[in-house]
Structure 1
Amino acid sequence: MKALQYKEIGQPPVLVEIPTPEPGPGQVLLKVTAAGVCHSDEFVMSLPEDQYDYGLPLTLGHEGAGVVHRLGEGVEHLAVGDPVMVYGPWGCGRCRNCAQGKENYCTNAAAEGIRPPGLGAPGAIAEYMLVDDARHLVPLGGLDPVENVSLSDAGLTPYHAIKQSLPKLHAGSYAVVIGAGGLGHVGIRMIRQLSGATVIALDVTEEKLDFAREVGAHHAVLSDEHAVDAVRELTGGLGADAVFDFVGAPPTTKIAAGVAAVEADVTIVGIGGGAVQAGFGTLPFDAAVRAPYWGSRSELIEVLDMARRGQVSVEVETFTLDEAPKAYERLHEGTLRGRAVIVPNAD
């Protein structure tokens, strides 16, 4: 089968031919219908050799959807041909968090060497994908896999981040979204659907700000040295009740802290290496800082329910498997509109 793999530190991913895997006991082999491209992949491929521990070669793609192609021994409640989405943050399935469906916070994964697909385990940017356990598959329920595969991360991650702050996003409140890219634009749509907050989006180009307005932001502000003052002015000097930084770089985390109101939630979702200092006198009174990761299985089901009701969608650009290296070039250039989706088995 064809697969897109990261094979050499510091080099771009390449398309290769590798054997099609066979499912063992409890495993499921999918014929991939769609796979998402994410900035996390670029982060992993940017690591120097002394910090890279994801294994080589690595088949990329932690957002995956497909149809069941083969079932391993003992797999029940699935049938060949079933359309499914992959829940990506795999855990042990035994610890307290996994028992609650929160495998994104598995306490045994690191010790047992359990890695998500595309981030240690073979991923979805291939013609076929091996899923370690049937519990990591969620029925698509009529959703188009190409239009919706990115919800498994670009939808689930912002949903998990926003959901915990919803009590603060009542009518008359303000939410700031930093970064209107692959995750941020979905976050804007979710805040609009789930709350009464006024949404203020920040990004670095007018084109990105136009995109933010298009997907629902009430206001859009350049993310520069004037951003904090601009947000303060829009909020009557009070600041935002919830701040979601989907970039997470040092300049954006500084802005995130600067626009927070008293009792605000400051949520750092992006993995750009930035941080927010928390302590008396460093943030407004009773402001809280969070750094969430991905989301739970039940939350993925909730996100897909929102998609079926037309409450959330992802802007996507599609690429064939042969074009997958180009998708990563576009990701690096910052020229993608929304999310890139690879269609490995396109007719």
Structure 2
Amino acid sequence: MKAVRIHEYEKMPSLDEVDNPKVTGPWDVIVKVGAAGLCRTDLHVIEGQWAPIQNPDLPYILGHENAGWVEEVGSAVSNVSVGDTVIMHPLVTCGLCPACRAGQDSHCSNSSFPGLNADGGMAEFLKTNARAVVKLDASLQPKDIAALADAGLTAYHAVRKAAKWLFPGSHAVVIGSGGLGHIGIQSLVALTSAHIIVVDRSEKALELAKSLGAHETVLSGDDEATLDKVKEITGGGADVVFDFVGEQGMEKVGPRMLKGRGDYYVIGYGGNVDLLTIDIISQEINVIGNLVGTYQDLVELMTLTAEGKISLTTAVYPLDAFDDAINDLDQGRLIGRGILVP
């Protein structure tokens, strides 16, 4: 089969011919890939940022946002059948460790992470397991929802955690209306009654945010002017800030957008959060990390998607145009999410 593999960090991946994956265990599921999402994490993988964390053996296949059709199953698999349309939770988990027992799949101590430390889905076929597959409503097509497996799941997970604080009259600031942020906006609309303010440097991204339900938008540029505008709109600061960028200086400005006792949700990454401890104490603010989401989060997200409350804005590329997709993402030319279709 054809597969996009990384051979060396700081180098463009290549399209290789490799063996198809095979069922070797009773819980294995082989999926014919219908679509694989392209994520900023893929850029960070290529840069080598994930190497000390995931320590993968090179070369391996990229792609951690995957959906498709069940091709083959192991002898113990009963939750899906050949031909079913499925989306995959990003992690392949054990089901037995304390985190799995508590329903916190993304913290499984025995997991593999296809696309980060194992072969992913930028290929014609993907091997996963029964715990990772979510059977989809017949109305959903892989190319329309693949990126919800990570970008959508991560955004939804953060909003789901914050929803109890976002009552009528509260303010939520969304930094970044890109691949993750535009799902975060829709999740906020679906789950909360907050007044939603979106900050982005792209006018097109802000237009998208407005169309998805944002109440107000702020075009970022000068940090202090951006901060002043947000504080003016919120009457002094937001209850919750969702930072879907986490770099390029926004991680310095984001926490300053909070009011006292506010929560700063870190979803995007690449920068450094640098806060004075006296500011954390005196304002009683919280910094909260977000790592993908649980299997249950993904089930809920797909329910909202089938109901038409969540949708992806995408740009579709054939698999052999992966380098064009990567360059478009890296250069900021993508609005929404890049999708590779084998």
Whether TM-score is above 0.5 comes out as yes
CA contact (8 A) 1:276 1:289 kept: no
Matched length:
337
User: For residues 164 and 76 of structure 2, what CA distance do their matches in structure 1 show?
Assistant: 43
Equivalent residue, structure 1, for 2:234: 235
User: For residues 282 and 13 of structure 2, what CA distance do their matches in structure 1 show?
Assistant: 44
Equivalent residue, structure 1, for 2:11: 11
User: Which residue identity does 1:44 align to in structure 2?
Assistant: V
Matches within 5 A, 1:248-259: 248-249=246-247, 251-259=249-257
CA contact (8 A) 2:185 2:209 kept: yes
User: For residues 201 and 308 of structure 1, what CA distance do their matches in structure 2 show?
Assistant: 25
| Greater Cα offset, 297-306 or 1-10 | 1-10
User: For residues 168 and 149 of structure 1, what CA distance do their matches in structure 2 show?
Assistant: 29
| SS of residue paired to 2:320 | coil
Identity of aligned residues (%): 37
Equivalent residue, structure 1, for 2:63: 61
CA contact (8 A) 2:156 2:301 kept: yes
After the TM superposition, which segments of 4 or more aligned residues of structure 1 sit over 6 Å from their partners? none
CA contact (8 A) 2:149 2:298 kept: yes
Asked if 1:273 corresponds to 2:271, the answer is yes
User: Which residue identity does 1:42 align to in structure 2?
Assistant: L
CA positional deviation for 1:119:
0.7
User: For residues 28 and 151 of structure 1, what CA distance do their matches in structure 2 show?
Assistant: 20
Matches within 5 A, 1:314-329: 314-329=312-327
| SS of residue paired to 2:131 | helix
CA contact (8 A) 1:250 1:274 kept: no
User: Which residue identity does 1:311 align to in structure 2?
Assistant: K
CA positional deviation for 1:179:
0.9
User: Which residue identity does 2:227 align to in structure 1?
Assistant: V
CA positional deviation for 1:308:
1.0
User: For residues 274 and 309 of structure 2, what CA distance do their matches in structure 1 show?
Assistant: 32
Equivalent residue, structure 2, for 1:73: 75
Asked if 1:45 corresponds to 2:41, the answer is no
User: Which residue identity does 1:37 align to in structure 2?
Assistant: L
From the superposition, tell whether residues 166 and 339 of structure 1 become closer, same or farther in structure 2 (CA, over 3 Å): same
CA positional deviation for 1:287:
1.6
CA positional deviation for 1:81:
0.9
CA contact (8 A) 1:24 1:73 kept: no
CA positional deviation for 1:234:
0.7
CA positional deviation for 1:75:
2.6
User: For residues 253 and 259 of structure 2, what CA distance do their matches in structure 1 show?
Assistant: 12
Equivalent residue, structure 2, for 1:286: 284
Matches within 5 A, 1:64-143: 64-106=66-108, 108-109=109-110, 114-131=111-128, 133-142=129-138, 143=140
CA contact (8 A) 2:23 2:29 kept: yes
CA contact (8 A) 1:221 1:230 kept: yes
| SS of residue paired to 1:180 | coil
User: Which residue identity does 1:264 align to in structure 2?
Assistant: G
TM-score normalised to the size of structure 1?
A: 0.92
Q: What per-residue deviation string (whole Å, max 9, x for no partner) do you get for residues 221-273 of structure 1?
A: 1233211111011112x200000001111611111111101121110111122
TM-score normalised to the size of structure 2?
A: 0.94
User: For residues 281 and 336 of structure 1, what CA distance do their matches in structure 2 show?
Assistant: 36
CA positional deviation for 1:77:
3.5
RMSD of equivalent CA atoms? 1.8
**Structure 1 residue runs without a partner (length 5+):** none
| SS of residue paired to 2:279 | coil
Which residue of 191, 195, 204 maps to 1:194? 191
Q: What per-residue deviation string (whole Å, max 9, x for no partner) do you get for residues 93-147 of structure 1?
A: 21121123311122x23xxxx431101110011001111x211111012212111
Matches within 5 A, 1:26-45: 26-45=27-46
CA contact (8 A) 2:80 2:135 kept: no
Which structure features the higher share of helix residues? 2
CA positional deviation for 1:276:
4.5
CA contact (8 A) 1:4 1:125 kept: yes
CA positional deviation for 1:216:
2.1
User: For residues 112 and 40 of structure 2, what CA distance do their matches in structure 1 show?
Assistant: 17
Q: What per-residue deviation string (whole Å, max 9, x for no partner) do you get for residues 294-319 of structure 1?
A: 00001100000001111111101111
